Structure 1
């Protein structure tokens, strides 16, 4: 993936990891489009930034995704990079019967959203030079957080989807997985100041340095996520799972 001169679409780009990376890509000389459900956040994110645009999109709405893709390709025909970043996370108690509305929303947002957005744009991307799809998963794709089983499962699914998609699109579109560790964002209540979580700016800076590596790694993995990513290979899953269980 080239680091400059792209037209990049970032879902969930109004806050957190999506916003931090979108602004860094913009600073590096790329045209960037961000999406999200909160128009005010999107407007604030692009304020004072030429060649950065914002379009509202609810990735849980299949019809909205189809209409959005048609419009965005018409408005930005040079679009060559899709970043599937939008996601939600919540704690769950699955030990007894419960209301599954939040779990179902997590599945639709975190896995169906990226699949639908990828499907809507893949033909366009495949026709572009230097095209790439970046799927943002999580260290929890490799060892689940017990209190967030559905979130962890959706990220594991997106990891698997990325591996398969990479093979299907070989030679046409580069498929890159970005798996963050625990980062200080507003993904969950209190997370933005939680001790032991990686500061957002520090994470984004390390990510950008990894994207600058040639050739671009298939998986973008900051140092903090390696204990999770490598847990199975190292035989450390029980130990890491025990640590996550205490969180």
Structure 2
């Protein structure tokens, strides 16, 4: 992928990994628009539009605004997501599960559906979805989050097949734990530094051909745990962590 000539819309790109990715594309020379519930300026020549991926009307309004200003749009990134913990022993967790599915799964599909006709009509472009290492190697404290990201992976695979003859590529970004703030690094010392993560991501995106799954080194053990026979041991380790957290 030529990262210097794209016109990119990143839904959920006003903070965290999404904003970091936006800045990298902008620095490379691409035109970048980010969408989020907040519409404060983010600098670096990046445009901002309002979008709430749980609101179908908001998604359509954002699409119309982006395409009106940038009919050459050729890369859509579905970055919007929430990461919420749950205690599955308490039925009250269901509200958290609903929110997680609404944002992470249905929000992803809404954004894809809004922009797919445009990309198909132009006969080229890329949809980039965002799953997670937890979608392949679940962490019990984040049950529905893991399920939602597994769903995004499966949906991405199906979308890639269905768009195979359209000229539209589907790329899945699979982040590990990434420290987007110093506070996040304190909570999880093993989290990958954001800039280090973005270095790897941009190198992988620049590859020819761009891989279907963008897998930095830090997520390889998650992605291939079942293949490598480490899945049961790694899930057991994560279960011990959950028990420690409950004991605190």
Contact 2:81-2:103 within 8 A present in 1 as well: yes
Contact 2:177-2:191 within 8 A present in 1 as well: yes
SS of the equivalent of 2:92 reads coil
2:96 is the alignment partner of 1:102:
yes
2:180 is the alignment partner of 1:185:
yes
1:156-175 alignment, distance < 5 Å: 156-172=150-166, 173-175=168-170
Q: What residue in structure 2 maps to residue 58 of structure 1?
A: 52
SS of the equivalent of 1:232 reads helix
1:79-228 alignment, distance < 5 Å: 79-128=73-122, 130-172=124-166, 173-185=168-180, 190-193=183-186, 194-228=188-222
Shift of 1:70: 2.1
Which moves more between the two structures, 99-108 or 153-162? 99-108
Change (3 A) 1:192 1:10: farther
Aligned length: 239
Shift of 1:103: 1.6
Find the aligned partners of 1:138 and 1:245 in 2 and give their Cα distance.
Answer: 18
After superposition, the C-alpha distances for 1:129-167 in whole angstroms (9 at most, x for unaligned) are 540000011001111110000100000000000000000
Shift of 1:190: 4.3
Contact 2:87-2:93 within 8 A present in 1 as well: no
Q: What residue in structure 1 maps to residue 229 of structure 2?
A: 235
Q: What residue in structure 2 maps to residue 5 of structure 1?
A: 5
Question: Alpha carbon RMSD of aligned pairs, Å?
Answer: 1.5
Find the aligned partners of 2:65 and 2:74 in 1 and give their Cα distance.
Answer: 15
Contact 1:57-1:64 within 8 A present in 2 as well: yes
2:25 is the alignment partner of 1:25:
yes
Q: State the TM-score, normalized to the length of structure 2.
A: 0.92
Find the aligned partners of 2:179 and 2:122 in 1 and give their Cα distance.
Answer: 35
After superposition, the C-alpha distances for 1:8-31 in whole angstroms (9 at most, x for unaligned) are 001111111101111001111100
Shift of 1:80: 0.7
Q: State the TM-score, normalized to the length of structure 1.
A: 0.92
Task: Choose from 70, 73, 90 the match for 2:67.
Answer: 73
Find the aligned partners of 2:73 and 2:185 in 1 and give their Cα distance.
Answer: 32
